[in-house]
Amino acid sequence: MYMSSLTHAASLSSSSLLRQARVAQTVALAWLVVELLLAITAGLLARSIALTAFGADSAVEFITAAVVLAQLWSPGAQALGSDTPSARRASRVVGLGLYAVGGYILVASAYGLLTGLRPEGTNFGVGVALLSVVVMFGLWRWRLSLSERLHSAPLRADAACSAVCLYMGLTLLAGLVLNRLLGWWWADLVAGLGMLWWIVREAQEAMEAARSGHHCETC
């Protein structure tokens, strides 16, 4: 009877954690949509390559977050890995999308440096970057804690990708602030190139996941 009660309590606790994980992942998806719209809008208005690239990366990360949410709703969600046909296809799409974003950054940054394209240092763009850093930090910590308690590899990998987004947001913020306060127009282009390292790394991890069926837990 005692063991049965413990098993029942553990099951209830696991179910509660799984519900929290689904809520956290849904919030992350909603935020990625907001981040995408804000970053793309701010990027186009300010002619900022870094902001536009940041928004494009948000669109790609939305796909991976959606795949993880689907896995959290599947049977045996706590232990579900990434070695499924749907997860592999999604990883391949994400990898190709990230390489496309990287290609855009290279071409657009080279064009901007050669032509002296001067993005406008707007408060709107700085605000978007700052808000993204704050929100992504919270989402990263929240989902990382849940993934550890659930022993969920997909959730842990997606939480790690939020950390990458956080680093990119800090890089973006630095470039925008330097442009806004000091008029260093090239800082935006350098920030875009700085994001390239993170984006290519994510793309490589996604393509490896598509090939092997295993995600890197540190993204």
Of 14-28, 60-74, 84-98, which range is least confident? 84-98
Q: CA-CA distance, 212 to 142, in Å (whole number)? A: 28
Mean pLDDT of 171-193: 84
Instruction: Render pLDDT for 9-48 as a digit per residue (tens, 0 to 9).
Output: 445 467 888 899 899 999 999 999 999 999 999 999 888 8
Does this model's pTM top 0.85? My answer is no
Place of tokens 């993880």: 68
